[in-house]
Chains A and B, each alone.
Chain A
Amino acid sequence: MLRSLGLFHDHLSELGLWLGMMALAALATLSFAGTMSRYLLSTPLGWVPDWTGYTLAASIFITAPAVTKHGQHVAMDFIAAAATSRTVVRFLTGIAAAMTFIVLATMTWIVTDSLLAAFRSGTGTAAGYPIPRWWLLSFITYGFGSSAVHFLRTALTAFLGKEKFSDLHISREAN
């Protein structure tokens, strides 16, 4: 049960990464098309800057869980790098992951609160081509929430052992 939940979470994060990659491709293409349209066809695409911003925000947070899963976050590594014992590294990794989980869980709660408020009020972005703010806040909430779960799994793995909760590479964390 736990294992399949974990697998589902991992697959979801990978799907997010693919969506983030597509979003980046879209950002490059959108900006390029906007430039060409403006200068070759003299028809500026007014919606490009706003939608560039929306796509960027969505891509950052849809990718965030994969950043965690792939161990791509930058951390200060002084102590873990100095430690030689695998048990110490495991313990430090667990503590760091647990603290990170607490921070990110709190962040998830904070942004969920804003998400619900934005959903109720129906506030849009203050832009020329507005969209409901809760659309974007959903991505942010997902990004924090799913990353928090990854860190929780890392902490459990570090403290309770083996690859039961997460296949996260501890050596990568200790980099």
Chain B
Amino acid sequence: ASAETSVRMLKTWDDRYAGSSAICDRYAEMLEEASGGEISVQMFGPETIPPLDQLEPVQNGLFQVLCTYPGFHTGAITLLTGLESIRPEAEAFRDSGARDVIDEAYGALGVQTLSVPLAHGYWIYLNRDLSDQGDLTGLQVRALPPQHPYVASLGGTPVVLPPAEMFSALERGVVEGAYFPAAGATGYGFAEVTKLYFDTKTTSPHIILANQSFWDGLDDATREVFESQAIVLEDETPGVYDRLNAEEAEKMAAAGMELIELSDEAAGRLAAAVVSGSWAFAGSRNPDEAARMREAVENAGLLRE
């Protein structure tokens, strides 16, 4: 039996992104259930703290737990971007030793890493056909800067656009495509503004963090709940996302979206760019940790070819 613990949990997404409920709400639920109500979680979303500013209030204890995507705090740490290049296999990932590197790097920022749920994937949505070369040659594709090498490897021109402008830009043909998570695609409105999509076979790493002094102040039994439920969450996430993505694909088909395949040659170029690009960005703030983590996942055979 653990002491009563109340947690203010901050999450990055509103409910349009599946991870909001499948990862953040789910973890909160599991904590409350597994602790027999000893742990109570109060959830706060991006309307309380904007996505890009969420790490700091957890570091200084305004919130106890943060459920987010590492791309939103690359100003402080870029390490996790490298995980876009691995297969989302929870157990092999835990066994690889990569978590030690992550715990250490995030620990230096004053936060305890609770869980790193890996999910599959990202799609590229297009409002016109692939080029004659069967890739993105001549197309402008919206992507966040860490993913620009992926677009460039297919001959496309990566473009930075704020999310608010992305949909109208696609609709009006200002850009021809966008790199965006698969989960929740129809909810975001891609089916309205594009007609084709293909799977980029990249992984979305999520991360759940706790304020360090909050964590240090917990008793062993309560920590055990956080840790054991993190493992349950990590194990179930890839499967949940496979199901969600399959549902999404059905909705896309129903909305008239066509799923296309890249040629083996183009897919190979993309895969190589994902490996080199994601690790290059991971190393931009954390060169040593990125090298160690890459070695760990590579030895565990997790890197996608």
Any A–B CB pair closer than 8 Å: yes
User: A residues near B, CB below 8 A?
Assistant: 38, 42-44, 46, 48-50, 121, 123-130, 133
B8 contacts chain A at the CB level, 8 A cutoff: no
Produce 1/0 per residue, B152-194, CB < 8 A to A.
0000011111100000000000000000000000000000000
Query: Of B76, B109, B144, B157, which is within 8 A of A128 by CB?
Result: B144
B75 contacts chain A at the CB level, 8 A cutoff: yes
B160 near A50: Cβ-Cβ < 8 Å: yes
A46 near B75: Cβ-Cβ < 8 Å: no
Decide yes or no: A46 and B159 within 8 Å by CB, A128-B145, A128-B146 being known contacts.
Answer: yes
- 30 A/B residue pairs, CB under 8 Å, sorted by A: A38-B159, A44-B140, A44-B160, A46-B148, A46-B158, A46-B159, A48-B160, A49-B160, A49-B161, A50-B160, A121-B76, A121-B109, A123-B75, A124-B74, A124-B76, A124-B285, A125-B75, A126-B52, A126-B73, A126-B74, A126-B75, A126-B76, A127-B74, A127-B75, A127-B145, A128-B145, A128-B146, A128-B148, A128-B160, A129-B145
B160 near A42: Cβ-Cβ < 8 Å: no
Q: Assuming A42-B157, A126-B73, A130-B74, what are 5 further A-B pairs, CB within 8 angstroms? A: A46-B148, A46-B160, A121-B76, A128-B145, A130-B75
Contacts of A126 in B (CB 8 A): 52, 71-76
- A to B contact number (C-beta, < 8 Å): 47
Q: Interface residue tally of chain B, by bracket?
A: 20 to 34
A44 near B159: Cβ-Cβ < 8 Å: yes
Give the CA-CA distance A44 to B52 in the complex, in Å. Answer: 24
Contacts of B52 in A (CB 8 A): 126
Contacts of A128 in B (CB 8 A): 144-146, 148, 160
Contacts of A133 in B (CB 8 A): 75
Give the CA-CA distance A129 to B73 in the complex, in Å. Answer: 13
Contacts of A124 in B (CB 8 A): 74-76, 285
Decide yes or no: A46 and B73 within 8 Å by CB, A126-B52, A128-B160 being known contacts.
Answer: no
A49 near B75: Cβ-Cβ < 8 Å: no
- The A-contacting residues of B in range 89-122, CB under 8 angstroms, are 109
B76 near A46: Cβ-Cβ < 8 Å: no
Give the CA-CA distance A38 to B109 in the complex, in Å. Answer: 39
- B103 to chain A minimum Cβ distance, whole angstroms, is 19
Considering the complex, give the chain A residue whose CB is closest to the CB of B162.
A49
Considering the complex, give the chain B residue whose CB is closest to the CB of A133.
B75
Which of B74, B109, B146 gathers the greatest number of chain A CB atoms within 10 Å?
Answer: B74
Contacts of A125 in B (CB 8 A): 75
Contacts of B145 in A (CB 8 A): 46, 127-129
Considering the complex, give the chain A residue whose CB is closest to the CB of B72.
A126
Considering the complex, give the chain B residue whose CB is closest to the CB of A48.
B160
Which of B75, B109, B285 gathers the greatest number of chain A CB atoms within 10 Å?
Answer: B75
Which of A42, A48, A121, A129 gathers the greatest number of chain B CB atoms within 10 Å?
Answer: A121
Contacts of B71 in A (CB 8 A): 126
